[in-house]
Structure 1
Protein backbone atom coordinates (compact mmCIF):
# COMPACT_ATOMS: atom_id res chain seq x y z
CA UNK A 1 0.00 0.00 0.00
CA UNK A 2 1.19 3.54 -0.73
CA UNK A 3 0.03 7.08 -0.07
CA UNK A 4 -3.04 8.38 -1.95
CA UNK A 5 -1.22 10.76 -4.31
CA UNK A 6 -2.26 12.12 -7.67
CA UNK A 7 0.25 13.38 -10.22
CA UNK A 8 0.70 17.14 -10.27
CA UNK A 9 -0.50 18.43 -13.66
CA UNK A 10 2.25 19.42 -16.11
CA UNK A 11 2.24 22.09 -18.82
CA UNK A 12 4.99 23.06 -21.28
CA UNK A 13 4.53 26.80 -20.67
CA UNK A 14 1.72 29.02 -19.39
CA UNK A 15 0.33 32.53 -19.71
CA UNK A 16 -0.18 34.73 -16.68
CA UNK A 17 -3.96 34.62 -17.25
CA UNK A 18 -4.10 30.81 -17.42
CA UNK A 19 -1.87 30.46 -14.37
CA UNK A 20 -4.09 32.75 -12.26
CA UNK A 21 -7.34 31.15 -13.47
CA UNK A 22 -6.38 27.45 -13.42
CA UNK A 23 -3.86 27.21 -10.58
CA UNK A 24 -3.58 30.29 -8.36
CA UNK A 25 -7.30 30.94 -7.83
CA UNK A 26 -8.21 27.28 -7.16
CA UNK A 27 -4.90 26.87 -5.24
CA UNK A 28 -3.72 23.84 -7.18
CA UNK A 29 -0.09 22.89 -7.86
CA UNK A 30 1.38 22.71 -11.36
CA UNK A 31 4.74 21.85 -12.96
CA UNK A 32 5.77 24.17 -15.83
CA UNK A 33 8.35 22.37 -17.92
CA UNK A 34 9.82 25.01 -20.25
CA UNK A 35 9.20 28.35 -18.59
CA UNK A 36 12.84 29.39 -18.07
CA UNK A 37 14.53 28.20 -21.27
CA UNK A 38 15.50 31.83 -22.03
CA UNK A 39 17.31 32.28 -18.69
CA UNK A 40 21.13 32.05 -18.79
CA UNK A 41 20.69 29.87 -15.67
CA UNK A 42 18.88 27.26 -17.77
CA UNK A 43 22.09 26.35 -19.58
CA UNK A 44 24.70 27.55 -17.06
CA UNK A 45 23.47 26.43 -13.66
CA UNK A 46 24.86 23.12 -12.51
CA UNK A 47 26.95 22.06 -9.52
CA UNK A 48 30.27 22.77 -11.27
CA UNK A 49 29.19 26.31 -12.14
CA UNK A 50 28.10 27.01 -8.56
CA UNK A 51 31.45 25.63 -7.37
CA UNK A 52 33.26 28.00 -9.77
CA UNK A 53 31.38 31.17 -8.73
CA UNK A 54 30.81 30.43 -5.02
CA UNK A 55 33.51 27.91 -4.14
CA UNK A 56 35.09 30.00 -1.38
CA UNK A 57 31.79 30.79 0.37
CA UNK A 58 31.17 29.07 3.71
CA UNK A 59 27.71 27.47 3.60
CA UNK A 60 25.35 26.30 6.38
CA UNK A 61 24.53 22.57 6.30
CA UNK A 62 21.57 20.64 7.72
CA UNK A 63 20.88 16.93 7.99
CA UNK A 64 17.89 14.78 8.98
CA UNK A 65 18.63 14.50 12.71
CA UNK A 66 15.51 15.01 14.87
CA UNK A 67 14.83 18.45 16.34
CA UNK A 68 16.76 18.99 19.57
CA UNK A 69 15.61 21.51 22.16
CA UNK A 70 19.09 23.13 22.09
CA UNK A 71 18.85 23.86 18.35
CA UNK A 72 17.85 27.43 17.57
CA UNK A 73 15.30 28.10 14.83
CA UNK A 74 16.97 27.07 11.51
CA UNK A 75 20.37 26.69 13.21
CA UNK A 76 22.80 24.74 10.96
CA UNK A 77 24.33 21.41 12.02
CA UNK A 78 27.66 22.07 10.25
CA UNK A 79 29.42 24.44 7.83
CA UNK A 80 31.72 23.83 4.85
CA UNK A 81 33.23 25.68 1.91
CA UNK A 82 30.92 25.42 -1.12
CA UNK A 83 33.66 23.83 -3.25
CA UNK A 84 34.14 21.06 -0.67
CA UNK A 85 30.38 20.57 -0.39
CA UNK A 86 29.95 20.20 -4.18
CA UNK A 87 32.83 17.68 -4.23
CA UNK A 88 31.10 15.75 -1.44
CA UNK A 89 27.77 15.73 -3.33
CA UNK A 90 29.44 14.33 -6.44
CA UNK A 91 31.54 11.79 -4.57
CA UNK A 92 29.04 9.99 -2.34
CA UNK A 93 25.53 10.12 -0.84
CA UNK A 94 25.34 12.60 2.05
CA UNK A 95 22.57 13.71 4.38
CA UNK A 96 23.91 17.28 4.38
CA UNK A 97 21.64 19.79 2.68
CA UNK A 98 21.73 23.55 2.22
CA UNK A 99 18.45 25.36 2.61
CA UNK A 100 17.41 29.01 2.65
CA UNK A 101 20.72 30.20 1.20
CA UNK A 102 20.21 33.77 0.00
CA UNK A 103 21.80 33.80 -3.43
CA UNK A 104 21.54 37.60 -3.97
CA UNK A 105 23.32 38.37 -0.75
CA UNK A 106 26.01 35.71 -1.06
CA UNK A 107 26.83 35.72 -4.79
CA UNK A 108 25.35 38.84 -6.46
CA UNK A 109 26.64 37.81 -9.92
CA UNK A 110 24.17 34.89 -9.97
CA UNK A 111 21.43 37.49 -10.16
CA UNK A 112 22.36 38.12 -13.80
CA UNK A 113 21.46 34.53 -14.66
CA UNK A 114 17.72 34.74 -13.93
CA UNK A 115 14.85 37.19 -14.00
CA UNK A 116 11.79 37.50 -11.83
CA UNK A 117 8.97 35.96 -13.91
CA UNK A 118 5.54 37.57 -14.14
CA UNK A 119 3.01 35.04 -12.89
CA UNK A 120 0.57 37.80 -11.93
CA UNK A 121 1.74 37.70 -8.29
CA UNK A 122 4.16 40.15 -6.72
CA UNK A 123 7.31 38.16 -5.96
CA UNK A 124 9.48 39.07 -2.96
CA UNK A 125 12.56 40.32 -4.80
CA UNK A 126 14.96 40.15 -1.87
CA UNK A 127 14.38 36.48 -1.12
CA UNK A 128 15.53 34.13 -3.87
CA UNK A 129 16.70 31.13 -1.86
CA UNK A 130 18.83 28.19 -2.98
CA UNK A 131 18.48 24.60 -1.70
CA UNK A 132 21.04 21.82 -2.29
CA UNK A 133 21.03 18.11 -1.49
CA UNK A 134 22.93 14.89 -2.09
CA UNK A 135 21.51 11.60 -3.34
CA UNK A 136 18.67 10.34 -1.11
CA UNK A 137 18.86 13.33 1.26
CA UNK A 138 15.43 14.74 2.08
CA UNK A 139 13.54 17.42 3.96
CA UNK A 140 11.03 16.52 6.65
CA UNK A 141 7.41 17.07 5.64
CA UNK A 142 6.81 20.73 6.54
CA UNK A 143 5.13 23.92 5.44
CA UNK A 144 6.66 27.38 5.35
CA UNK A 145 6.22 29.75 8.27
CA UNK A 146 4.76 32.53 6.06
CA UNK A 147 2.39 30.22 4.08
CA UNK A 148 3.65 31.91 0.90
CA UNK A 149 2.96 30.99 -2.72
CA UNK A 150 6.20 29.28 -3.79
CA UNK A 151 7.75 28.85 -7.24
CA UNK A 152 10.42 26.15 -7.03
CA UNK A 153 12.91 26.09 -9.95
CA UNK A 154 15.00 22.91 -10.11
CA UNK A 155 18.53 22.60 -11.53
CA UNK A 156 20.59 19.47 -12.19
CA UNK A 157 19.38 15.98 -11.42
CA UNK A 158 15.98 14.76 -10.25
CA UNK A 159 13.92 15.46 -7.17
CA UNK A 160 10.87 13.66 -5.76
CA UNK A 161 8.22 15.95 -4.26
CA UNK A 162 5.09 15.12 -2.25
CA UNK A 163 2.57 17.84 -1.38
CA UNK A 164 -0.49 18.08 0.89
CA UNK A 165 -2.79 21.03 1.43
CA UNK A 166 -3.70 22.34 4.89
CA UNK A 167 -7.00 20.41 4.84
CA UNK A 168 -4.97 17.20 5.33
CA UNK A 169 -3.49 18.35 8.68
CA UNK A 170 -5.68 15.98 10.69
CA UNK A 171 -4.16 12.94 8.91
CA UNK A 172 -0.47 13.95 8.91
CA UNK A 173 0.71 13.62 12.53
CA UNK A 174 1.34 17.36 12.65
CA UNK A 175 3.50 18.40 15.59
CA UNK A 176 1.77 21.15 17.64
CA UNK A 177 3.44 24.60 17.87
CA UNK A 178 5.57 23.64 14.86
CA UNK A 179 5.61 23.56 11.06
CA UNK A 180 6.51 19.86 10.71
CA UNK A 181 4.95 16.41 10.92
CA UNK A 182 6.53 13.64 13.02
CA UNK A 183 10.12 13.44 11.81
CA UNK A 184 10.24 9.63 11.98
CA UNK A 185 7.73 9.21 9.14
CA UNK A 186 9.31 8.11 5.86
CA UNK A 187 6.98 9.71 3.29
CA UNK A 188 8.74 7.88 0.45
CA UNK A 189 7.67 4.56 1.99
CA UNK A 190 5.44 5.09 5.04
CA UNK A 191 4.73 2.38 7.62
CA UNK A 192 0.91 2.35 7.74
CA UNK A 193 0.87 0.06 10.78
CA UNK A 194 2.71 2.73 12.74
CA UNK A 195 1.02 5.74 11.06
CA UNK A 196 -2.50 4.48 10.12
CA UNK A 197 -4.03 7.96 9.62
CA UNK A 198 -1.77 8.56 6.60
CA UNK A 199 -4.05 6.18 4.65
CA UNK A 200 -6.71 8.93 4.73
CA UNK A 201 -4.45 11.75 3.49
CA UNK A 202 -4.91 12.87 -0.11
CA UNK A 203 -1.94 14.58 -1.74
CA UNK A 204 0.05 15.30 -4.88
CA UNK A 205 3.37 14.08 -6.26
CA UNK A 206 5.86 14.83 -9.02
CA UNK A 207 9.43 14.27 -10.10
CA UNK A 208 11.15 17.55 -10.89
CA UNK A 209 13.90 17.70 -13.53
CA UNK A 210 16.40 20.35 -14.64
CA UNK A 211 14.77 23.63 -15.65
CA UNK A 212 11.28 22.74 -14.45
CA UNK A 213 9.23 24.98 -12.15
CA UNK A 214 6.83 23.71 -9.50
CA UNK A 215 4.14 26.05 -8.17
CA UNK A 216 3.23 25.22 -4.56
CA UNK A 217 0.08 27.02 -3.37
CA UNK A 218 -0.22 28.84 -0.05
CA UNK A 219 0.66 26.82 3.02
CA UNK A 220 1.13 23.52 1.16
CA UNK A 221 3.03 20.84 3.07
CA UNK A 222 6.07 19.63 1.11
CA UNK A 223 8.46 16.71 1.37
CA UNK A 224 11.44 16.77 -0.99
CA UNK A 225 13.91 13.98 -1.69
CA UNK A 226 16.94 14.33 -3.94
CA UNK A 227 16.99 11.27 -6.22
CA UNK A 228 20.34 12.53 -7.53
CA UNK A 229 22.52 15.43 -6.28
CA UNK A 230 21.14 18.79 -7.35
CA UNK A 231 19.80 22.14 -6.29
CA UNK A 232 16.77 24.38 -6.61
CA UNK A 233 15.83 28.03 -6.26
CA UNK A 234 12.61 29.25 -4.65
CA UNK A 235 10.87 32.55 -5.34
CA UNK A 236 7.89 33.45 -3.20
CA UNK A 237 4.84 35.69 -3.16
CA UNK A 238 3.03 36.67 0.01
CA UNK A 239 -0.13 34.73 0.97
CA UNK A 240 -3.26 36.41 -0.42
CA UNK A 241 -5.93 34.44 1.43
CA UNK A 242 -6.75 36.48 4.60
CA UNK A 243 -6.90 33.30 6.71
CA UNK A 244 -3.42 32.25 5.55
CA UNK A 245 -2.05 35.76 6.02
CA UNK A 246 -3.37 35.82 9.60
CA UNK A 247 -1.85 32.39 10.27
CA UNK A 248 1.49 33.55 8.82
CA UNK A 249 1.56 36.57 11.15
CA UNK A 250 0.64 34.34 14.10
CA UNK A 251 3.42 31.84 13.20
CA UNK A 252 6.12 34.50 12.86
CA UNK A 253 5.29 36.64 15.88
CA UNK A 254 3.60 34.31 18.38
CA UNK A 255 4.03 30.59 17.64
CA UNK A 256 7.77 30.72 16.96
CA UNK A 257 8.51 32.83 20.07
CA UNK A 258 6.27 30.69 22.29
CA UNK A 259 7.99 27.51 21.05
CA UNK A 260 11.46 28.97 21.69
CA UNK A 261 10.41 30.05 25.19
CA UNK A 262 9.06 26.57 26.03
CA UNK A 263 12.28 24.96 24.78
CA UNK A 264 14.25 27.17 27.15
CA UNK A 265 11.96 26.41 30.10
CA UNK A 266 11.25 22.69 29.60
CA UNK A 267 14.10 21.54 27.37
CA UNK A 268 13.76 18.14 25.68
CA UNK A 269 10.56 17.39 27.63
CA UNK A 270 8.80 20.03 25.51
CA UNK A 271 9.93 18.36 22.24
CA UNK A 272 8.94 14.91 23.55
CA UNK A 273 5.50 16.18 24.65
CA UNK A 274 4.88 17.74 21.22
CA UNK A 275 5.83 14.49 19.45
CA UNK A 276 3.46 12.47 21.68
CA UNK A 277 0.69 15.01 21.15
CA UNK A 278 1.07 14.68 17.35
CA UNK A 279 0.08 11.00 17.63
CA UNK A 280 -2.76 11.58 20.13
CA UNK A 281 -4.28 14.43 18.08
CA UNK A 282 -4.07 12.55 14.77
CA UNK A 283 -5.32 9.19 16.03
CA UNK A 284 -8.38 10.97 17.50
CA UNK A 285 -9.54 11.52 13.93
CA UNK A 286 -9.21 7.87 12.91
CA UNK A 287 -12.52 6.13 12.19
Structure 2
Protein backbone atom coordinates (compact mmCIF):
# COMPACT_ATOMS: atom_id res chain seq x y z
CA UNK A 1 0.00 0.00 0.00
CA UNK A 2 1.33 3.41 -1.00
CA UNK A 3 0.30 6.55 0.86
CA UNK A 4 1.24 10.07 -0.23
CA UNK A 5 0.80 13.15 1.99
CA UNK A 6 -2.16 15.40 1.23
CA UNK A 7 -1.31 18.98 0.24
CA UNK A 8 -2.45 21.86 2.45
CA UNK A 9 -3.89 25.12 1.12
CA UNK A 10 -5.40 28.34 2.44
CA UNK A 11 -6.85 31.52 1.01
CA UNK A 12 -8.02 29.83 -2.18
CA UNK A 13 -10.77 31.43 -4.27
CA UNK A 14 -13.86 29.32 -5.11
CA UNK A 15 -13.15 29.33 -8.86
CA UNK A 16 -9.63 28.03 -8.23
CA UNK A 17 -10.82 25.38 -5.78
CA UNK A 18 -13.49 24.13 -8.17
CA UNK A 19 -11.02 23.99 -11.06
CA UNK A 20 -8.04 22.47 -9.23
CA UNK A 21 -9.70 20.16 -6.70
CA UNK A 22 -13.48 19.68 -7.02
CA UNK A 23 -13.57 18.97 -10.76
CA UNK A 24 -10.36 16.94 -10.69
CA UNK A 25 -11.44 14.89 -7.67
CA UNK A 26 -8.25 15.74 -5.78
CA UNK A 27 -8.20 15.55 -1.95
CA UNK A 28 -6.69 18.48 -0.10
CA UNK A 29 -6.47 19.89 3.43
CA UNK A 30 -7.96 23.40 3.71
CA UNK A 31 -6.55 25.41 6.60
CA UNK A 32 -9.27 28.09 6.66
CA UNK A 33 -12.52 26.32 5.67
CA UNK A 34 -13.79 27.15 9.16
CA UNK A 35 -13.20 30.87 9.68
CA UNK A 36 -10.85 31.74 12.56
CA UNK A 37 -13.47 34.37 13.46
CA UNK A 38 -15.96 31.59 14.35
CA UNK A 39 -17.17 31.72 17.95
CA UNK A 40 -16.67 27.96 18.31
CA UNK A 41 -12.90 28.36 18.76
CA UNK A 42 -13.31 30.29 22.01
CA UNK A 43 -16.66 28.94 23.16
CA UNK A 44 -16.67 25.18 22.58
CA UNK A 45 -15.16 22.71 25.03
CA UNK A 46 -16.07 19.39 26.59
CA UNK A 47 -17.18 21.19 29.74
CA UNK A 48 -19.41 23.49 27.68
CA UNK A 49 -20.95 20.53 25.84
CA UNK A 50 -21.62 18.77 29.14
CA UNK A 51 -23.27 21.94 30.47
CA UNK A 52 -25.68 22.33 27.54
CA UNK A 53 -26.32 18.66 26.63
CA UNK A 54 -24.62 16.38 29.15
CA UNK A 55 -27.86 14.67 30.20
CA UNK A 56 -28.84 13.68 26.63
CA UNK A 57 -28.91 9.89 26.14
CA UNK A 58 -26.86 8.89 23.11
CA UNK A 59 -26.05 5.69 21.19
CA UNK A 60 -22.41 4.62 21.08
CA UNK A 61 -20.67 2.56 18.40
CA UNK A 62 -17.78 0.12 18.74
CA UNK A 63 -15.67 -2.03 16.43
CA UNK A 64 -17.29 -2.12 13.02
CA UNK A 65 -15.79 -5.50 12.13
CA UNK A 66 -18.69 -6.98 14.08
CA UNK A 67 -21.18 -5.54 11.55
CA UNK A 68 -19.42 -6.46 8.32
CA UNK A 69 -22.51 -8.19 6.99
CA UNK A 70 -24.56 -4.98 6.77
CA UNK A 71 -24.32 -1.51 5.28
CA UNK A 72 -24.59 0.37 8.57
CA UNK A 73 -23.15 -0.66 11.92
CA UNK A 74 -25.55 -1.00 14.82
CA UNK A 75 -24.92 0.84 18.11
CA UNK A 76 -23.61 -1.35 20.92
CA UNK A 77 -25.00 0.60 23.87
CA UNK A 78 -26.28 3.83 25.36
CA UNK A 79 -25.02 6.36 27.90
CA UNK A 80 -25.42 10.03 28.55
CA UNK A 81 -23.44 12.46 26.44
CA UNK A 82 -21.69 13.71 29.58
CA UNK A 83 -20.64 10.19 30.56
CA UNK A 84 -19.23 9.64 27.07
CA UNK A 85 -17.21 12.88 27.14
CA UNK A 86 -15.80 11.94 30.55
CA UNK A 87 -14.83 8.53 29.17
CA UNK A 88 -12.88 9.75 26.14
CA UNK A 89 -11.08 12.36 28.26
CA UNK A 90 -10.16 9.78 30.88
CA UNK A 91 -8.81 6.88 28.79
CA UNK A 92 -8.46 5.41 25.29
CA UNK A 93 -11.62 3.71 24.05
CA UNK A 94 -12.94 2.23 20.84
CA UNK A 95 -16.34 3.83 21.42
CA UNK A 96 -17.44 6.47 18.89
CA UNK A 97 -20.45 8.68 18.18
CA UNK A 98 -21.55 8.31 14.56
CA UNK A 99 -23.52 11.00 12.67
CA UNK A 100 -24.26 12.61 16.03
CA UNK A 101 -26.92 15.35 15.92
CA UNK A 102 -25.75 17.68 18.70
CA UNK A 103 -26.24 20.56 16.28
CA UNK A 104 -29.84 19.47 15.83
CA UNK A 105 -30.37 19.02 19.55
CA UNK A 106 -28.83 22.44 20.19
CA UNK A 107 -29.35 24.35 16.91
CA UNK A 108 -27.94 27.54 18.41
CA UNK A 109 -24.49 25.95 18.02
CA UNK A 110 -24.74 26.32 14.23
CA UNK A 111 -24.35 30.08 14.66
CA UNK A 112 -20.92 29.49 16.23
CA UNK A 113 -19.44 28.12 12.99
CA UNK A 114 -18.68 30.35 10.00
CA UNK A 115 -17.82 28.43 6.83
CA UNK A 116 -15.50 29.73 4.15
CA UNK A 117 -17.36 27.93 1.37
CA UNK A 118 -14.65 27.33 -1.21
CA UNK A 119 -17.22 25.71 -3.52
CA UNK A 120 -19.05 28.99 -4.14
CA UNK A 121 -22.26 27.91 -2.42
CA UNK A 122 -22.41 24.16 -3.10
CA UNK A 123 -21.78 23.09 0.52
CA UNK A 124 -24.94 22.08 2.42
CA UNK A 125 -24.20 24.14 5.51
CA UNK A 126 -27.63 23.36 6.97
CA UNK A 127 -26.78 19.62 7.19
CA UNK A 128 -23.78 19.25 9.53
CA UNK A 129 -22.95 16.11 11.52
CA UNK A 130 -20.59 15.70 14.44
CA UNK A 131 -18.31 12.72 15.00
CA UNK A 132 -16.69 11.95 18.37
CA UNK A 133 -14.15 9.24 19.11
CA UNK A 134 -11.79 8.02 21.77
CA UNK A 135 -8.07 7.65 21.28
CA UNK A 136 -7.39 4.50 19.24
CA UNK A 137 -10.88 4.20 17.77
CA UNK A 138 -11.37 3.87 14.02
CA UNK A 139 -14.03 3.47 11.38
CA UNK A 140 -14.05 0.64 8.87
CA UNK A 141 -12.81 1.43 5.39
CA UNK A 142 -15.77 2.74 3.38
CA UNK A 143 -17.13 5.35 1.00
CA UNK A 144 -20.24 7.41 1.65
CA UNK A 145 -23.48 5.95 0.35
CA UNK A 146 -24.76 9.19 -1.20
CA UNK A 147 -21.56 9.81 -3.24
CA UNK A 148 -21.32 13.41 -1.97
CA UNK A 149 -18.18 15.50 -1.66
CA UNK A 150 -17.24 15.61 2.04
CA UNK A 151 -15.55 18.34 4.07
CA UNK A 152 -14.50 17.02 7.49
CA UNK A 153 -13.28 19.72 9.90
CA UNK A 154 -11.34 18.94 13.06
CA UNK A 155 -12.19 20.87 16.25
CA UNK A 156 -10.50 18.85 19.00
CA UNK A 157 -7.68 16.32 18.85
CA UNK A 158 -5.99 14.74 15.83
CA UNK A 159 -7.37 12.43 13.14
CA UNK A 160 -5.41 10.40 10.63
CA UNK A 161 -7.36 9.60 7.48
CA UNK A 162 -6.33 7.35 4.57
CA UNK A 163 -8.20 8.09 1.34
CA UNK A 164 -8.37 6.22 -1.98
CA UNK A 165 -10.23 6.79 -5.26
CA UNK A 166 -13.38 4.78 -5.93
CA UNK A 167 -11.63 3.16 -8.91
CA UNK A 168 -9.68 1.03 -6.40
CA UNK A 169 -12.84 -0.52 -4.91
CA UNK A 170 -11.98 -4.05 -6.01
CA UNK A 171 -8.56 -3.80 -4.34
CA UNK A 172 -10.42 -2.88 -1.12
CA UNK A 173 -12.31 -6.20 -1.18
CA UNK A 174 -15.52 -4.20 -1.45
CA UNK A 175 -18.59 -6.25 -0.60
CA UNK A 176 -21.19 -6.32 -3.39
CA UNK A 177 -24.29 -4.23 -2.58
CA UNK A 178 -22.42 -2.58 0.32
CA UNK A 179 -20.16 0.42 0.70
CA UNK A 180 -17.29 -0.99 2.74
CA UNK A 181 -14.54 -3.56 2.38
CA UNK A 182 -13.92 -6.69 4.42
CA UNK A 183 -10.19 -6.01 4.89
CA UNK A 184 -8.87 -3.81 7.70
CA UNK A 185 -6.27 -1.57 6.06
CA UNK A 186 -4.17 -1.39 9.21
CA UNK A 187 -4.34 -4.90 10.66
CA UNK A 188 -5.27 -7.32 7.86
CA UNK A 189 -2.54 -9.58 6.55
CA UNK A 190 -1.49 -9.17 2.91
CA UNK A 191 -1.17 -12.96 2.83
CA UNK A 192 -4.94 -13.16 3.33
CA UNK A 193 -5.74 -10.02 1.33
CA UNK A 194 -2.94 -9.69 -1.28
CA UNK A 195 -4.72 -6.95 -3.28
CA UNK A 196 -3.99 -4.48 -0.45
CA UNK A 197 -0.38 -4.33 -1.65
CA UNK A 198 -1.49 -2.51 -4.80
CA UNK A 199 -3.48 0.27 -3.14
CA UNK A 200 -2.28 3.77 -3.99
CA UNK A 201 -3.78 6.59 -1.94
CA UNK A 202 -3.18 9.49 0.42
CA UNK A 203 -2.64 10.02 4.12
CA UNK A 204 -4.05 13.12 5.78
CA UNK A 205 -3.48 14.16 9.38
CA UNK A 206 -5.87 16.90 10.41
CA UNK A 207 -5.52 19.10 13.47
CA UNK A 208 -7.94 21.63 14.98
CA UNK A 209 -8.81 24.26 12.40
CA UNK A 210 -8.02 22.02 9.42
CA UNK A 211 -10.52 20.50 7.00
CA UNK A 212 -10.00 17.52 4.72
CA UNK A 213 -11.81 17.66 1.39
CA UNK A 214 -12.68 14.13 0.23
CA UNK A 215 -13.98 13.92 -3.36
CA UNK A 216 -17.25 12.17 -4.16
CA UNK A 217 -17.09 8.41 -3.78
CA UNK A 218 -13.60 8.27 -2.29
CA UNK A 219 -12.83 5.57 0.24
CA UNK A 220 -11.72 6.68 3.70
CA UNK A 221 -10.33 4.92 6.74
CA UNK A 222 -10.51 7.25 9.76
CA UNK A 223 -8.32 6.79 12.82
CA UNK A 224 -8.46 8.81 16.04
CA UNK A 225 -4.80 9.48 16.89
CA UNK A 226 -6.16 11.20 20.02
CA UNK A 227 -9.62 11.63 21.42
CA UNK A 228 -11.50 14.36 19.64
CA UNK A 229 -14.37 15.49 17.50
CA UNK A 230 -15.09 16.92 14.07
CA UNK A 231 -17.92 18.29 11.94
CA UNK A 232 -18.71 16.96 8.49
CA UNK A 233 -20.61 18.89 5.81
CA UNK A 234 -21.31 17.83 2.25
CA UNK A 235 -21.69 19.09 -1.28
CA UNK A 236 -23.78 17.20 -3.82
CA UNK A 237 -21.96 15.06 -6.41
CA UNK A 238 -20.66 16.96 -9.43
CA UNK A 239 -21.60 14.62 -12.27
CA UNK A 240 -24.97 13.18 -13.24
CA UNK A 241 -23.58 9.64 -13.03
CA UNK A 242 -22.44 10.21 -9.42
CA UNK A 243 -25.84 11.68 -8.52
CA UNK A 244 -27.56 8.68 -10.09
CA UNK A 245 -25.30 6.21 -8.30
CA UNK A 246 -25.88 7.99 -4.98
CA UNK A 247 -29.65 7.89 -5.44
CA UNK A 248 -29.51 4.20 -6.39
CA UNK A 249 -27.41 3.43 -3.30
CA UNK A 250 -29.81 5.31 -1.02
CA UNK A 251 -33.14 4.09 -2.37
CA UNK A 252 -32.46 0.70 -3.98
CA UNK A 253 -29.14 -1.00 -3.23
CA UNK A 254 -29.15 -0.91 0.56
CA UNK A 255 -32.76 -2.12 0.77
CA UNK A 256 -32.07 -4.91 -1.68
CA UNK A 257 -29.12 -5.99 0.47
CA UNK A 258 -31.24 -5.90 3.66
CA UNK A 259 -33.90 -8.04 2.01
CA UNK A 260 -31.41 -10.63 0.74
CA UNK A 261 -29.73 -10.78 4.15
CA UNK A 262 -33.06 -11.46 5.85
CA UNK A 263 -33.98 -14.16 3.34
CA UNK A 264 -30.66 -15.99 2.96
CA UNK A 265 -28.97 -14.96 6.25
CA UNK A 266 -25.35 -16.15 6.45
CA UNK A 267 -25.35 -17.61 2.95
CA UNK A 268 -25.82 -14.12 1.48
CA UNK A 269 -22.80 -12.78 3.39
CA UNK A 270 -20.71 -15.80 2.38
CA UNK A 271 -21.62 -15.17 -1.26
CA UNK A 272 -20.59 -11.51 -1.01
CA UNK A 273 -17.23 -12.44 0.54
CA UNK A 274 -16.57 -14.89 -2.31
CA UNK A 275 -17.43 -12.22 -4.87
CA UNK A 276 -15.24 -9.60 -3.14
CA UNK A 277 -12.25 -11.93 -3.17
CA UNK A 278 -12.84 -12.99 -6.79
CA UNK A 279 -13.00 -9.36 -7.93
CA UNK A 280 -9.84 -8.54 -5.96
CA UNK A 281 -7.99 -11.42 -7.60
CA UNK A 282 -9.01 -10.17 -11.04
CA UNK A 283 -7.89 -6.66 -10.11
CA UNK A 284 -4.49 -7.96 -9.00
CA UNK A 285 -3.84 -9.34 -12.50
CA UNK A 286 -4.25 -5.83 -13.94
CA UNK A 287 -1.48 -4.48 -11.70
CA UNK A 288 1.03 -7.30 -12.22
Q: Same fold (TM over 0.5)?
A: yes
Aligned partner of 2:283 in structure 1 is 285
Aligned partner of 2:88 in structure 1 is 89
Q: Distance in 1 between matches of 2:5 and 2:187?
A: 17
Say if 2:52 is the partner of 1:50.
no
Aligned partner of 2:74 in structure 1 is 75
Report the CA distance between 1:265 and its aligned residue. Answer: 0.7
88-97 or 51-60: which moved more?
A: 51-60
Q: In the superposition, relative to structure 1, how do residues 237 and 72 fare at CA in structure 2: closer, same or farther (>3 Å)?
A: closer
Aligned pair partner of 1:240 in 238, 262, 265: 238
Aligned partner of 2:264 in structure 1 is 266
Q: In the superposition, relative to structure 1, how do residues 275 and 66 fare at CA in structure 2: closer, same or farther (>3 Å)?
A: farther
**If the length of structure 2 is used for normalisation, what is the TM-score?**
0.92
Aligned pair partner of 2:15 in 17, 38, 49: 17
Report the CA distance between 1:68 and its aligned residue. Answer: 6.4
Q: In the superposition, relative to structure 1, how do residues 75 and 192 fare at CA in structure 2: closer, same or farther (>3 Å)?
A: closer
The within-5 A match list for 1:99-138 is 99-119=98-118, 120-138=120-138
CA contact (8 A) 1:104 1:126 kept: no
Report the CA distance between 1:42 and its aligned residue. Answer: 2.5
Secondary structure, aligned partner of 1:258: helix
158-167 or 260-269: which moved more?
A: 260-269
Aligned partner of 1:149 in structure 2 is 149
Q: Distance in 1 between matches of 2:220 and 2:8?
A: 18
Q: Distance in 2 between matches of 1:73 and 1:195?
A: 23
Report the CA distance between 1:53 and its aligned residue. Answer: 2.2
Aligned partner of 2:248 in structure 1 is 250
Number of aligned pairs?
282
Say if 2:39 is the partner of 1:6.
no
**If the length of structure 1 is used for normalisation, what is the TM-score?**
0.92
Q: In the superposition, relative to structure 1, how do residues 141 and 96 fare at CA in structure 2: closer, same or farther (>3 Å)?
A: same
Q: Distance in 1 between matches of 2:76 and 2:259?
A: 21
Say if 2:180 is the partner of 1:188.
no
Q: In the superposition, relative to structure 1, how do residues 68 and 29 fare at CA in structure 2: closer, same or farther (>3 Å)?
A: closer
Q: In the superposition, relative to structure 1, how do residues 72 and 147 fare at CA in structure 2: closer, same or farther (>3 Å)?
A: closer
Secondary structure, aligned partner of 1:233: strand
Q: Pairwise CA RMSD of aligned residues?
A: 1.8
Report the CA distance between 1:16 and its aligned residue. Answer: 1.4
Q: Distance in 2 between matches of 1:121 and 1:162?
A: 27
Secondary structure, aligned partner of 1:191: coil
Q: In the superposition, relative to structure 1, how do residues 106 and 142 fare at CA in structure 2: closer, same or farther (>3 Å)?
A: same
Aligned partner of 2:167 in structure 1 is 167
Q: Distance in 2 between matches of 1:201 and 1:121?
A: 33
Regions of 4+ moved over 4 Å: 71-74
Q: Mind listing any 5+ residue stretches in structure 2 that lack a counterpart?
A: none
